[in-house]
Amino acid sequence: MYKFFPLLILSVLFLGSCSGTGEWELHHAKQTAVPVYEPVPADFIPRTLTVLSAGDSLTQGVGDSTGKGGYLPYLETLLENEKGIKDVDFYNFGVKGNRTTQLLKRLKAPEIKPVLKKADLVILTIGGNDIMKVVRDNLSNLEYSIFMDEKENYRKHLIQIIETIVKENPNASIVLVGLYNPFSKWFSDIEEFDQIVSEWNQAGQSVISQYPNAYFVSIEDIFLNSSENLLFTDNFHPNDKGYELIAQRLNETMEERVLPDLDRKPYMVSTEEN
């Protein structure tokens, strides 16, 4: 009996290795499917977009006959029609007459900071009053070089504004609305104003280009090339149609660039490749 036991074991091993039944394959390592993660489509979970708008009279809505905030109600309607957006919560912190230095201080105010921390998007309109200050301070001696010197201060202040926003909320997208030229009807004899506004817009674009989550929206051409009147009775601020066109231009940039970036969500679904 003892002699046959090793022979029995060897026979079983031999037969098992020659068998085509694949019994020994049960001992091989099990092949498990590796999960592959794919981003959830942007419209899978409709989101509420929190938008902080800050700056000057264009954000406050001076010239808007409805008194609802200039371009904001138009933009809100456009955004809420976008796929994947359920609601848009706008917080309007526009103040007529604000310059870059004043906006910088206000961004640190206790009523703004909590909103800034939770905002998905920050929209800024600022710079027009900085140009107006140059005009007021130099009425008797308006020279092109003065505007160019002050443009550098505008650039520095704008960097401080963006840095303040990024420090409070590094995940927020930032949109700077460019300047337009309302000065032609006030100072028709100064042909350089179009060039001055263009130079200041280039300064704004150069600042925005330094930040991956920041975007520049030009509106200069809307007012420059329009065949219809887009200004309020003060010939300075946009009227209802002007604000509507600003909102449309903003929404174009939102569709093409801002919203796709915001849709880089952490939500993931798992599929399996066999």
What DSSP line would sit under 120-134, residue for residue? SEEEEE-SHHHHHHH
What's the token pair of residue 237?
């601020």
pLDDT digits (tens, 9 = 90+) for 24-67: 444 444 455 555 545 555 455 778 899 999 999 999 999 999 88
pTM of the entire predicted model? 0.79
The domain segmentation of the chain, as residue ranges, is 47-262
First to last CA, the chain: 49
Q: Indicate the residue type of 196.
A: I
More confident residue, 35 or 206: 206
Predicted confidence (pLDDT) at residue 187 exceeds the cutoff of 70: no
Return phi, psi of residue 33, to 5°: -70, 135
pLDDT digits (tens, 9 = 90+) for 232-253: 998 889 999 999 999 999 999 9
pLDDT at 261: 85
Q: Top-level CATH class of 47-262?
A: alpha beta
pLDDT at 225: 78
pLDDT at 4: 42
Among 259, 231, 260, 235, which Cα is nearest to 246's? 231
Average pLDDT in the 160-168 region? 97
